[in-house]
Amino acid sequence: MEPIQPNKEKNNQNPCLWMQAGVVRSKYCKNLYDCTTCLYDRNMMNLVDANRNIDVESNDRQGKRKKIVYWKEKLKERPLSKRPCIHYMKGRIDFRNCGHDYMCVNCEFDQYFSDQYTVHATVKPVDVLNIDGFRIPQGYYLHKGHTWVKIEERKTVRIGLDDFALKVFGPLENIEAPLVGKQIKKDSPQIILKRGDHAATLLSPVSGVVTEINPKIREDAKHAGKNPYSDGWVLRLHSETLKNEIKDLYIGDQSKEYIGKEVNTLYKAIEESGSLLNTDGGYLAENIYGNIPQLGWERLSRLFLRTYGRGE
């Protein structure tokens, strides 16, 4: 099966999921079905949340707004044979019905398709900022321990290492992620980085259940450094607490400020080690630990991963 992609030039061929479900009469997608960055989808979900918080017998809900329900709930009113798979609704496959009440985390086909689809349609950041030589993608959340979070279908996220961590600690020889099905907690050490005799752990940016591990990273950890924010992801997570925990992460200007401070801390550490700066075009080059081992693996782990390292 070779998945197809929505046609960005013909928006009238891409009906919004809210329209397909019958919640609204007319709305076409102009965002290639990336609901996580869609303002319209966000506003609709706010209306859904507002309706859920109002007592059913209350007269506060007026007019058409009281009919706004989550598009997945609207589809569940249909017979099982007429509930379309999300991937069909997004124009990626021929018709297939959903047999999991739109709980994609429990669907083997969704996991299979996600692997296949990323081969043909790798989602890359719309825009990447450069902060002193370190790349930051817009629309991604950053954790204080240098992992990133990309929100996908509501409570599902992808998690990976940011460019800063990969340049400081890489190239890595192995990245060990928790097993599929494991329940992990926010800020708990879960991902293990290995380079030679050195190892360090990364804190999980959010809580949830691991639903998938990136097979490319499992086979070759160096793959993470090539495209860290697209096909360099480490794991997928289904999080029931995402809405509350995402508030503790950095995004946009917060990310720029955070990385800027981390760069200053790194320069200070290099200066204190008495080492000469190895720069590339005015920026710190890759393989920072390899070029300046005097910085100390364990010290770098404490400074930037907010956890421990071993093997010095």
Q: Which domains does the chain have, with CATH numbers?
A: 11-120 (no CATH), 124-312 (2.40.50.100)
Q: What is the pTM of this model?
A: 0.64
Report in angstroms the alpha-carbon separations of 59 from 49, 54, 66, 70, 72: 17, 9, 10, 20, 25
Sorting pLDDT into bands at 50, 70 and 90, what band is 283? low
Q: What would the pLDDT profile of 50-92 be if each residue is shown by its tens digit?
A: 887 764 445 554 555 557 899 999 999 999 999 999 888 988 7
Residue 285's pLDDT is what? 72
Q: What would the pLDDT profile of 5-57 be if each residue is shown by its tens digit?
A: 444 444 457 899 999 999 999 999 988 787 877 889 888 988 888 887 764 44
- The residue count of the chain comes to 312
